[in-house]
Structure 1
Amino acid sequence: MRVDFTKMHGLGNDFVVLDTRAQPLPGPLSRQIAAALAHRHTGIGCDQLIVLEPSDIADFAMRIFNADGGEVEACGNATRAVGLLAGGAARIATAAGILETQASAGGISVDMGEPRFDWDAIPLAYAMDTLSMPVGWENLENPAAVNVGNPHAVFFVPDCDAVDLERLGPLIEHDPLFPARVNVNVATVTDRRHIRLRVWERGVGLTLACGTGACATAIAAMRRKLVEREVEVALPGGTLTISWGADNRITMTGPATTSFRGSFEWADYA
C-alpha cells in the first residue's frame, strides 16, 4: 500500500509529514520504521517524522519522531509547518500540551506555552539551580536548563561558531545528569535584541534550526537579564522571533515552507 507524504521545512529543519486523518497507516509506526523513513541515504530523509492524527480536544493531534526513531514531546518548527498546512490558524494537540498557531507577517506564529525551570521538570538527575547549573564539559560551563515541551541546556559563549558542538553535543546529550537526554544549545548574545545560536538536537544531531532551542535560549537569556523580552534568534538556517509575554507564555514566529509531495510503499519500510 502506498502512503502519501508532504516534505516541509522551517529554516532548513526538515520534516516528512504523514496525515493519517485522511489516510490511516497500513500498520503500526515503530521506531525502526520512523528511523528508516528519516534516513537521508536510504529513506525520504528528514530531521523529524511528523504524524497527524484525529483529536477530540483540538483540531488535530501531532506526534513527533526524531531521526533516530525516538518519539519526542515538542518541535516548534514542525508546529509552524503543520500550522501552514492547516491554513495558518490551528489548535494542535501534542505530548507537551495544546499548541496554537496563527498566520502572521513573519510566517506562522506559535503559542509555545509556558517554560518550566524546576530541576525535576527538565528533568535533571538531582536538584540544582537551573539558571546557572554548577556543571561543565570542557570549556562549556554553567548552562541554564529550560523545558519548553522538551529539555534544553543552554550555554552562553563568546563565539558559538567556535564551539566543537559536533563532538561535545553527544557527550552532553547522553550525560547521566539528563535522564531523558537533552538538547544542547550554544549561544552568543550580540546585543539586547539579537542572539546567535547553534543546536545539537537530541536524537538528530547538528541541525540548521531548532524552534524549541530558540525558545529555550531566548528565555534563558531573558532570565539572566541579557536581552529584552522579544529577541531575534539567528540560527544557521535563518531567524526566528521569540517573545515572552507578561502572561508567561512564549510566542515563536518564523517561516515554514512546503518542499514537495510524494508517496512511498509501506512494505519497503515495514
Structure 2
Amino acid sequence: MKLSFTKMQGCANDYIYLDCRESGVPENIVPLARDLSRRHFSVGADGIICICAPVTPGADGRMRIFNADGSEAQMCGNGVRCVAEWLYTHGVAKPRLAIDTGAGCKTVTRMGAQLWQVEMGEYTTMAAALPAVNMGEGPLVDCPLEVEGKRWQVTCIGVGNPHCVTVVPEVDSLKLEEIGPAFENHPNFPERINTEFVEVVDATHLKMRVWERGSGETWACGTGTCATVAALTELGFCPAGEDVHVALRGGELIIRVLPGRKLLMTGAAVTVYEGVAEGSI
C-alpha cells in the first residue's frame, strides 16, 4: 500500500497529514496511526490528522485527529493551524478559514507567512465537561489530587478536550515518563487526561511541559497551552486580556484570555516535507 502524506509541525508538535477530502478517512486508520507514528521505525509523529470535507455549511475543511496509539482526539490546537496552512497552500488561499473539529468549528486567521491565529472558543472548569469524577462539580480550580501517593494541587480545564494543569517550581528536571502515565490514567478522569506542568517565569511568561493522552510527552500542545494560561488566569498568576508567552520544548505559543473565558492562540504552522509511505497495513 502506498500513501501520500504531508509532514507538518507546530512548535514541534508533529503530525502526518492525509488529504481525505474526497476519499474519506481510511478504514484502517487506527493501525495506520500506530504504525506510521513509530519514531525511528517509520515516518514518526505524534499521530495522524485527516483533512476531510467540512460538515458545517460554509466551512473550508474538517480535521480528525488520531493519536500515536490510534485513539481519536476531539481537538488539537497546533494541528488546526497546520490544517489551515495546508488548505491555504493547496488551493484554499483565504486569509480567514473555518475548520470543523470534534470541539466545534474554529476560525483561523493568517497573521503572516506560516503564522496563524485561532479562535479556540470558551473554556470551562466544571467537572462534567471534562469529564472528572470524585472532585465535586466544580469549578475545579486549585484542587488537591493524589497521584501514586503524592499530593498535587491541580486546576482542571476543558477546552474541547480535558486538561489537568499543575504549577511546579521548575519543569526541566521533571521525569514525565514516570509521572505522566499516572496522571493520564487517574481514575478521576474516566476518559483519561492531558496533563500540563507549568513553571511561572513572570505574569506574562510561562514554561510548560505536557504529557498527552495517547501520545506521551510531546514537545508542544496547543490546547494544553490554552488550558495552562486559562488555569493560571483562574489562579491569579496571569492577567486576562493580555498576551501570555508560553515556552514549550518545541517553541513558543502566545495565548490571550478574552472576555467570556474565550481563548485566542497564535503560533506557527510549518510544512516539513511531503512523501509517500509504503506498508502492509
Q: What range describes the TM-score normalised by the shorter chain of this pair?
A: over 0.9
- How high is the sequence identity, in percent, across the aligned residues? 37
Partner of residue 168, structure 1: 179
Letter in 2 for 1:143: V
Deviation at 1:139, TM superposition (A): 5.1
Q: Do structure 1's residue 257 and structure 2's residue 265 form an aligned pair?
A: no
CA RMSD of aligned residues (A): 1.7
Q: Deviations over 1:45-89 (max 9, x none)?
A: 110200011123121111000111111101000011111112252
Q: How many residues align?
A: 267
Partner Cα distance (1:124, 1:155) in 2: 16
Partner of residue 78, structure 1: 79
Q: Choose which of 137, 143, 155 in structure 2 pairs with 1:133.
A: 143
Q: Which runs of 5+ in 1 are unaligned?
A: none
Partner Cα distance (2:120, 2:273) in 1: 27
Q: Aligned pair in 2 of structure 1 residues 26, 236: CA closer, same or farther (>3 Å)? A: closer
Q: Do structure 1's residue 233 and structure 2's residue 246 form an aligned pair?
A: yes
Letter in 2 for 1:85: W
Partner of residue 92, structure 1: 99
Q: Aligned pair in 2 of structure 1 residues 261, 140: CA closer, same or farther (>3 Å)? A: farther
Detail structure 1 runs of 4+ shifted over 6 Å in the superposition.
none
Partner Cα distance (2:163, 2:199) in 1: 16
Letter in 2 for 1:54: A
Q: Deviations over 1:122-150 (max 9, x none)?
A: 11123424102221335561100001111
Letter in 2 for 1:215: C
Q: Aligned pair in 2 of structure 1 residues 225, 26: CA closer, same or farther (>3 Å)? A: closer
Contact 1:37 1:269 in 2 (8 A): no
Partner of residue 218, structure 1: 229
The alignment partner of 2:181 has SS state of helix
The alignment partner of 2:256 has SS state of strand
Deviation at 1:3, TM superposition (A): 2.4
Q: What pairs with 1:1-270 in structure 2 (closer than 5 Å)? A: 2-22=2-22, 24=23, 27-57=26-56, 58-87=59-88, 88-105=95-112, 107-128=115-136, 129=138, 130-137=140-147, 141-229=152-240, 230-265=243-278, 268-270=279-281
Partner Cα distance (1:264, 1:103) in 2: 30
Partner Cα distance (2:153, 2:222) in 1: 22
Partner Cα distance (1:248, 1:76) in 2: 17
Q: Which runs of 5+ in 2 are unaligned?
A: 89-94
Deviation at 1:269, TM superposition (A): 4.1
Deviation at 1:27, TM superposition (A): 4.6
Deviation at 1:213, TM superposition (A): 0.8
Letter in 2 for 1:110: V
Partner Cα distance (1:179, 1:26) in 2: 27
Letter in 2 for 1:99: K
Deviation at 1:99, TM superposition (A): 1.0
The alignment partner of 2:143 has SS state of coil
Partner Cα distance (2:2, 2:32) in 1: 14
Partner Cα distance (2:191, 2:230) in 1: 21
Partner Cα distance (2:125, 2:260) in 1: 16
Contact 1:119 1:126 in 2 (8 A): no
Letter in 1 for 2:276: S
Letter in 2 for 1:96: A
The alignment partner of 1:55 has SS state of coil
In the superposition, the TM-score normalised over structure 2's length comes to 0.90
Contact 2:62 2:99 in 1 (8 A): yes
Q: Aligned pair in 2 of structure 1 residues 21, 216: CA closer, same or farther (>3 Å)? A: same
Q: Which moves more between the two structures, 100-109 or 148-157?
A: 100-109
Partner Cα distance (2:224, 2:82) in 1: 16
